[in-house]
C-alpha cells in the first residue's frame, strides 16, 4: 500500500508553507525601541520595523487613538469624507514645504504613492521618461521596480515598464566621475543633460530622488546638490519629486529632508512613518498647479484608510511637540560620535554618514573595495548581540543601515554603540 500523498495543509512548520524565506525568530511583543521574541530575547530595533515604526513599537497614544477610532468607524470609501482623513490632509499641508498645497491620500504604501506621483508628473507635463539615480529605490510593484536604479530588481522579469533613465547619484565616497565634491562642479547634476540627450526618449517628465538614499546605502548628497538639481529641473520643465518615504516626519531632525536641505520639490511622497506605529498609509503632496487631476486615475481600496488616518493624526501631533525634533538631533549626534570613535580603531569601517537618525556605516576591504561579505557577517553578529539592522541594497550591499525609532534616548544610543563595538570585535 503506497504512502498517502503529502498534504501541505498539515505541515506545522511555517517555513515549509511560506512562499518566501522567514526569519528564524518569532517576535511576540514590542515597546518603544525594544522588541522581544518567543524565547524572551530582547532586541534594540535599529530599523524601526521596516523603517516605518517612527514612534517605536506600540506607542501608547497612537494605539489609544486607533482603539478609539475602531469604536466609531473602521473604514469609509473615498466617496465620503471622514474626520481623520480630513485632518491628515490639513496637517500635511500645514507642515510641508509652503509650495505643496494639495494632498492625494489614496495610496496605502510607498510604491503606489511613487507610481502615483510619476503618473501625475506625466499627466501634467505630457511627457513620459522618469530619471532615477543609480541605486534609487522607487518601489516593489512591477512599474516601480522597472524605474528603480538597481538591475537586480528588474532582472527576473521579462516585461518591464519603459521610460526609466538611470543616472549617477551624488555618492561622494565612491564618486562615479572620480571627482571631489569641492572641485567637481556638480557633474552629477550637469551631466544629466548627456543622459537626456543620448539615453532617454527626449521626453522627460520627472526626476524622482530620495534626498538621502535608503536602500541604496544611506548616501547623503553634498551641500548644494539638491538646490542645483531643482534649478536644473526648473530650467527644463522637469518635475522634481522628493521620495521622502524614509526621510519624512523628523527622521533627519527636521520635519522633512526638504527642510534640512532647504529645497522645495515640486512634489513629495510620504509613507512608512506617517502613522507612527505600523499602520499602512501614504500620501502624495503636489503644487497647486497639479490639482487638475481625475480622482479615478489613481486610487486603491485601502488608501486613506480610516484607522490608519487616526494613527497618522496622532503621530503628526506628536512629532510637532516641543523638543521632539531636538531629541532626534541629540540622540543622533551621540550615536554618530560613538560610531566614529569605533571607526578610528576598526579600519573595516570606511565611512559613517547620515543626518539625524538616518545613518549608514559603510564597510570596506583593506584596498577600499566594498566589504559585502563582511557586512553580511557583521549584520548577523549584530543580531546575535541584540541589535536589529539591515544591509543596503536589499541585503547585498556593504552599508549597515541604522534607522532607530525617533524616540531613541541618548542612553539607548550609547547602548547601541556598545553592542556595535562588541560585535565589531568579533570580525576578522
Nearest to 385 by CA among 338, 352, 351, 425: 425
Give pLDDT tens digits for 18-46: 888 888 889 999 999 999 999 999 999 99
In this predicted structure, the answer to whether residue 273 has a pLDDT above a threshold of 90 is yes
Contact (CB, 8 A) for 149 and 134: yes
Give me the pLDDT at residue 340, please: 97
Give me the pLDDT at residue 19, please: 85
Give me the pLDDT at residue 339, please: 98
Give me the pLDDT at residue 269, please: 98
In this predicted structure, the answer to whether residue 2 has a pLDDT above a threshold of 60 is no
CB atoms within 10 A of CB 43: 19
CA distances from 373 to 213, 343, 348, 370, 395 (A): 21, 18, 12, 9, 10
Set of cell numbers at residue 221: 548628497
Residues 63, 316: Cα–Cα separation, whole Å: 14
In this predicted structure, the answer to whether residue 411 has a pLDDT above a threshold of 80 is yes
Give me the pLDDT at residue 4, please: 56
Give me the pLDDT at residue 33, please: 97
Give me the pLDDT at residue 293, please: 87
Contact residues for 256 (Cβ-Cβ < 8 A; gap 6+): 95, 96, 97, 242, 244, 247, 248, 249, 268
End-to-end CA distance of the chain: 56
The confidence band for 110, taking pLDDT boundaries of 50, 70 and 90, is very high
Set of cell numbers at residue 343: 571607526
Out of 120-124, 146-150, 322-326, 415-419, least confident range: 146-150
Give pLDDT tens digits for 253-262: 999 999 999 9
Give me the pLDDT at residue 309, please: 97
Give pLDDT tens digits for 199-233: 999 999 999 999 999 999 999 999 999 999 999 99
Give me the pLDDT at residue 311, please: 98
Give me the pLDDT at residue 322, please: 98
In this predicted structure, the answer to whether residue 383 has a pLDDT above a threshold of 60 is yes
The confidence band for 7, taking pLDDT boundaries of 50, 70 and 90, is low
Q: Cα–chain-centroid distance for residue 213?
A: 8
In this predicted structure, the answer to whether residue 1 has a pLDDT above a threshold of 60 is no
The confidence band for 9, taking pLDDT boundaries of 50, 70 and 90, is low
Give me the pLDDT at residue 5, please: 59
In this predicted structure, the answer to whether residue 428 has a pLDDT above a threshold of 70 is no
Give pLDDT tens digits for 173-192: 999 999 998 889 899 999 99
Domains of the chain are 8-59+322-424 (3.90.1150.10), 62-319 (3.40.640.10)
Percent of the chain with pLDDT over 90: 85
Tell me what the pLDDT averaged over the chain comes to. Answer: 94
Give me the pLDDT at residue 181, please: 85
Amino acid at each position: 500500500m503506497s504512502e498517502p500523498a503529502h498534504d501541505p495543509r498539515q505541515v506545522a512548520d511555517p517555513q515549509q508553507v511560506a512562499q518566501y524565506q522567514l526569519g528564524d525568530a518569532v517576535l511576540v511583543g514590542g515597546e518603544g525601541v525594544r522588541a522581544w521574541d518567543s524565547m524572551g530575547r530582547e532586541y534594540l530595533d535599529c530599523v524601526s520595523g521596516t523603517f516605518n515604526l517612527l514612534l517605536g513599537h506600540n506607542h501608547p497614544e497612537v494605539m489609544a487613538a486607533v482603539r478609539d477610532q475602531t469604536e466609531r468607524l473602521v473604514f469609509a470609501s473615498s466617496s465620503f469624507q471622514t474626520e481623520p482623513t480630513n485632518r491628515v490632509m490639513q496637517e500635511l499641508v500645514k507642515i510641508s514645504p509652503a509650495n505643496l498645497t494639495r494632498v492625494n491620500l489614496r495610496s496605502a504604501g510607498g510604491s503606489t504613492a511613487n507610481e502615483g506621483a510619476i503618473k501625475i508628473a506625466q499627466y501634467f507635463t505630457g511627457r513620459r521618461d522618469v530619471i532615477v539615480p543609480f541605486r534609487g529605490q522607487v518601489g516593489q510593484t512591477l512599474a516601480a521596480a522597472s524605474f528603480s536604479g538597481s538591475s537586480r530588481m528588474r532582472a527576473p522579469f521579462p516585461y518591464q515598464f519603459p521610460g526609466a533613465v538611470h543616472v549617477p547619484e551624488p555618492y561622494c565616497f565612491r564618486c562615479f566621475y572620480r571627482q571631489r565634491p569641492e572641485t567637481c562642479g556638480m557633474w552629477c547634476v550637469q551631466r544629466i543633460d548627456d543622459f537626456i540627450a543620448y539615453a532617454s526618449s527626449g521626453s522627460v517628465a520627472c526626476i524622482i530622488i530620495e534626498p538621502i538614499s535608503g536602500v541604496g546605502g544611506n548616501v547623503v548628497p553634498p551641500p548644494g546638490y539638491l538646490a542645483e538639481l531643482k534649478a536644473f529641473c526648473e530650467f527644463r520643465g522637469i518635475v522634481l519629486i522628493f521620495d521622502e518615504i524614509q526621510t519624512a516626519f523628523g527622521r533627519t531632525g527636521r520635519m522633512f529632508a526638504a527642510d534640512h536641505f532647504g529645497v522645495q520639490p515640486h512634489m513629495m511622497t510620504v509613507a512608512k512613518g506617517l502613522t507612527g506605529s505600523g499602520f499602512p498609509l501614504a500620501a502624495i503632496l503636489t503644487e497647486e498647479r497639479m490639482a487638475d487631476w481625475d480622482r479615478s486615475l489613481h486610487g486603491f481600496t485601502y488608501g486613506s484608510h480610516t484607522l490608519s488616518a487616526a494613527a497618522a493624526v496622532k503621530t503628526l501631533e506628536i512629532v510637532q511637540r516641543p523638543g521632539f525634533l531636538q531629541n532626534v538631533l541629540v540622540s543622533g549626534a551621540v550615536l554618530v560620535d560613538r560610531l566614529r570613535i569605533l571607526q578610528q580603531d576598526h579600519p573595516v569601517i570606511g565611512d559613517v554618514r547620515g543626518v539625524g537618525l538616518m545613518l549608514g556605516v559603510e564597510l570596506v576591504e583593506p584596498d577600499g573595495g566594498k566589504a559585502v561579505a563582511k557586512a553580511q557577517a557583521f549584520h548577523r553578529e549584530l543580531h546575535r548581540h541584540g541589535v536589529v539592522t539591515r544591509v543596503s541594497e536589499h541585503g547585498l550591499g556593504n552599508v549597515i543601515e541604522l534607522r532607530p525609532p525617533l524616540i531613541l534616548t541618548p542612553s539607548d544610543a550609547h547602548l547601541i554603540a556598545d553592542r556595535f563595538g562588541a560585535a565589531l570585535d568579533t570580525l576578522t
